[in-house]
Amino acid sequence: MTCPRCGAPATANFCASCGGSLSAHTCQACGHTPAAGARFCNLCGARLAGEVARAPVPNSGAVGAVREGALGWWIAGATLVALILLVAWPVIRQDEPDSGSRPGAAVSGATGGGPPDLSSMTPREAADRLFNRVMGAVEAGDEATVQGFLPMALGAFERARPLDAHGLADYSMLYRAAGDFAAALAVAQEGLAEQSDHLLLLAAAAEAADGLGDMATARPYWQRFLELYDAQSALGLEEYAAHEFVLERSREHARESVGG
């Protein structure tokens, strides 16, 4: 199979070169089914449900500027800096090619090399590997890699369901990286319905609500995050250990949001 968008050899559901869909999707607006790889319906012009809008990342020389992109979601100034910090949460887990397990340690710059080989992985392993690739690219300011792999990563997490709390927190973060704060909040709330005390999910929900400008929703999540922080940290969960530094920064953000 070749990708109908870029012509590169491709397998599975998404192109490893450009991130384009390899499956035909029926338009939910009019019922027409355009050719595989189409991002919009050629009959009515609606965006196809299987296509995720690409999202730009800021570079180090344009932190204070609004970057126009597929979703136009990067915001300016200090708010943007805070978003980048939390989008880099958990500052990238290990991306070793021969590791079949979920990485437990945070490292920087896991963006090199070719596309990850997903064919021999379980759905969750593929989702974790694509998460590492996207977050590594976000941290490095590699816009092309983020745009290429973010749709694949979102699709991989959806196929890996049911997800545990850690997986839903990562899934929510990917939606924040795509600028879809409403979806990010919905995914975090889905996890909190099962594990209402999980710190990563509470932080994910609060950050998503902050991104929507909904402080009335964000503040209770931040308050609960602070109330549970010590007791939850004492549980010694693997994901808490992996995200220890970022959880500390989230606690600082929480204190600022609720006033001490």
> For 120-145, what is each residue's pLDDT tens digit?
899 999 999 999 899 889 989 999 99
Neighbours of 159 (CB within 10 A): 12
Question: What proportions of the chain, in percent to the nearest 5, are helix, strand and coil?
Answer: 50, 5, 50
Find the radius of gyration of the CA atoms of the chain: 18
What is residue 188's three-state secondary structure? helix
| Rounded to 5°, angle at Cα 157 from 129 and 164 | 95
pLDDT of residue 20: 66
For domain 78-258, the CATH architecture is: Alpha Horseshoe (1.25)
Q: Provide mean pLDDT across the span 68-84.
A: 37
Signed CA dihedral, 207, 212, 213, 216: sign only = negative
Q: What is the dihedral of CA 74, 249, 150, 129, to 10 degrees?
A: 170
pLDDT of residue 56: 39
Domain ranges in the chain with CATH number 1.25.40.10: 78-258
Range among 65-74, 209-218, 240-249 rated most confident? 209-218
pLDDT of residue 82: 39
Residue 74 has pLDDT above 60, yes or no: no
pLDDT of residue 223: 97
Better-predicted residue by pLDDT, 174 or 2: 174
- Residues above pLDDT 70, as percent of the chain: 58
Q: Provide mean pLDDT across the span 182-191.
A: 97
Residue 167 has pLDDT above 80, yes or no: yes
pLDDT grade, residue 25 (50/70/90)?
A: low
pLDDT of residue 197: 97
Q: Structure pTM?
A: 0.60
CA of 177: how far to CAs of 9, 171, 174, in Å? Answer: 27, 10, 5
